[in-house]
């Protein structure tokens, strides 16, 4: 099943449970606007290459479109379309006033210089400038884009419209109106949700064994924060492999080891294991924070945890979902668990529009409130409809967007 088909299937399932009529389903399933642009860009050697860029704007019933921009050689229109739909549902689950969008450029950023990336980013911004803006569509970083990319977009857009417009993007450098806490936001959200899962399951957080697959931004920060909350991090991994200690690992020392060696493996106070072995370790909370489709029908029977908290996008396949549900393992879906990033992006947007600056304590307090409410909304819905948490999150999201579309009235 293609990624887009899977996303649509999730939507259809929620729409059927909510008994939405066929016309409304079609409105909610199809993007409102799809933009494909050709981007001629001069390379450092004088050669001109033409890149393809995309921006898919899925739904704006609840507010301006919101979603990242990724640079990757495998970017496709189908992938960007699926991700734009997921952003609509993610924003609705945490109840922030955005719709969903996603963008991308098919390129290999690893083989490009900083100057080439800047020229390409400015070309892309000029090409989509008429369909983005503080009250229309607010991009953010994604795969192989970062705060610097957002600074180039903001600068290009501001020069085109003749006024400083920091609210056109989020995920900017702090010096240009970025929010305190934005870099840690996804990991913070994962840690908050894990804490709430422990309460929901009646398990003590102090001493809980946590396994984290993926030691990038989200994985490392959630591991650090959970360790500060009293959890025992017993295993972590990156693309080269994992490490395990039956007692616990020191997250700060592992981060330092990875900075020095390029990987978490070969840490002297732990045993090297594979990513596959890591997923099957006995633990209280398993946090897949790496890539998609790592928990499948092939290994779901061997997953030995009380709860899976999805920090990555799509780490659990539909078949595995059913197996885990039957085993009584709670799976907190990515649309909820990884929503800390877009939530703090919303806070950044609000700060930019009001020309205000929040402290990191204010950001954390507001994020905590949003994530706790979203978790409780999802678990209450799961009980009401007798469904798993992924289905419940989709029901919450689709219901909110459908209500907004109906409240706006009929244009069709």
Q: How far apart are CA 392 and CA 383, in angstroms?
A: 9
What pLDDT does 330 receive? 92
The CA distances from residue 168 to 68, 118, 327, 357, in Å, are: 12, 17, 45, 17
Sequence-separated (6 or more) residues with CB below 8 Å from residue 303: 279, 280, 286, 295, 324, 327, 329
Q: What is the dihedral of CA 96, 101, 107, 110, to 10 degrees?
A: 10
How many CA atoms within 13 Å lie on the side-chain side of 258?
A: 22
Q: How far apart are CA 77 and CA 82, in angstroms?
A: 9
Domain ranges for the chain, please list them.
Answer: 3-8+31-165, 185-337
What pLDDT does 184 receive? 86
185-337 falls under which CATH superfamily?
NAD(P)-binding Rossmann-like Domain (3.40.50.720)
What pLDDT does 1 receive? 65
| Buried-exposed string 166-193: b where 16+ CB fall within 10 A, e elsewhere | bbbbbbbeeeebbbbbbbbbbbbbbbbb
What architecture is domain 3-8+31-165? 3-Layer(aba) Sandwich (3.40)
pTM, full prediction = 0.90
Contact 240, 258 (CB under 8 A): no
- Do β-strands 65-72 and 137-141 pair in parallel, antiparallel, or remain unpaired? parallel
What pLDDT does 411 receive? 57
Element (H, E) at 288: strand 285-288
Contact 131, 54 (CB under 8 A): no
Q: What share of the chain is helix, strand, coil (3-state, %, to 5)?
A: 50, 20, 30
Q: Would you say the CATH fold of 185-337 matches that of 3-8+31-165?
A: yes
Which among 236, 289, 291, 239 is positioned nearest to 267, based on CA atoms? 236
Averages of pLDDT over runs of 10 residues in the chain (412 residues) are: 84 94 92 97 96 97 95 93 93 96 95 97 97 96 91 97 96 94 89 95 92 87 93 90 88 90 85 88 90 83 91 83 89 92 95 95 95 96 93 96 90 56
Which sequence positions are flagged as catalytic? 102
Q: How far apart are CA 338 and CA 188, in angstroms?
A: 9
């Amino acid at each position: 099943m293609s990624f887009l088909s899977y996303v649509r299937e999730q939507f259809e399932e929620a729409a059927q449970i909510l008994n939405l009529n066929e016309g409304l389903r079609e409105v909610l399933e199809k993007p409102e606007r799809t933009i494909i642009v050709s981007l001629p860009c001069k390379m450092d050697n004088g050669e001109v290459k033409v890149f393809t860029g995309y921006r898919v704007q899925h739904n704006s019933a609840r507010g301006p479109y919101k979603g990242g921009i990724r640079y990757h050689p495998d970017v496709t229109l189908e992938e960007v379309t699926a991700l734009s739909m997921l952003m609509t549902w993610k924003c609705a689950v945490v109840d922030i006033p955005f719709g969903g969008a996603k963008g991308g450029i098919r390129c290999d950023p690893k083989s490009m210089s900083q100057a080439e990336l800047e020229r390409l980013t400015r070309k892309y911004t000029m090409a989509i400038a008429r369909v983005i803006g503080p009250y229309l569509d607010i991009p953010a970083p994604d795969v192989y884009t970062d705060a610097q990319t957002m600074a180039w977009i903001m600068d290009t857009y501001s020069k085109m419209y003749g006024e400083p417009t920091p609210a056109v993007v989020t995920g900017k450098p702090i010096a240009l109106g970025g929010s305190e806490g934005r870099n840690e936001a996804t990991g913070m959200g994962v840690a908050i949700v894990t804490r709430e899962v422990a309460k929901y399951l009646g398990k003590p957080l102090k001493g809980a064994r946590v396994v984290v697959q993926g030691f990038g931004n989200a994985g490392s920060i959630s591991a650090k924060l959970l360790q500060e909350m009293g959890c025992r991090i017993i295993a972590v991994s990156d693309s080269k492999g994992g490490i395990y200690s039956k007692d616990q690992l020191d997250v700060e020392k592992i981060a330092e080891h990875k900075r020095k060696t390029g990987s978490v493996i070969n840490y002297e106070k732990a045993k090297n294991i594979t990513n596959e072995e890591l997923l099957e370790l006995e633990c209280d909370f398993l946090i897949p924070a790496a890539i998609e489709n790592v928990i499948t029908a092939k290994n779901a029977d061997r997953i030995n945890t009380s709860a899976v908290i999805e920090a990555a996008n799509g780490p659990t396949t539909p078949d595995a979902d059913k197996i885990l549900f039957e085993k009584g393992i709670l799976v907190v879906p990515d649309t909820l668990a990884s929503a800390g990033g877009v939530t703090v992006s919303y806070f950044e947007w609000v700060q930019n529009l009001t020309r205000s600056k929040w402290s990191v304590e204010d950001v954390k307090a507001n994020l905590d409130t949003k994530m706790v409410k979203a978790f409780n909304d999802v678990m209450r819905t799961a009980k009401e409809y007798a469904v798993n948490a992924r289905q419940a999150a989709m029901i919450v999201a689709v219901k909110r967007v459908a209500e907004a579309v109906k409240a706006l009235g009929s244009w069709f």
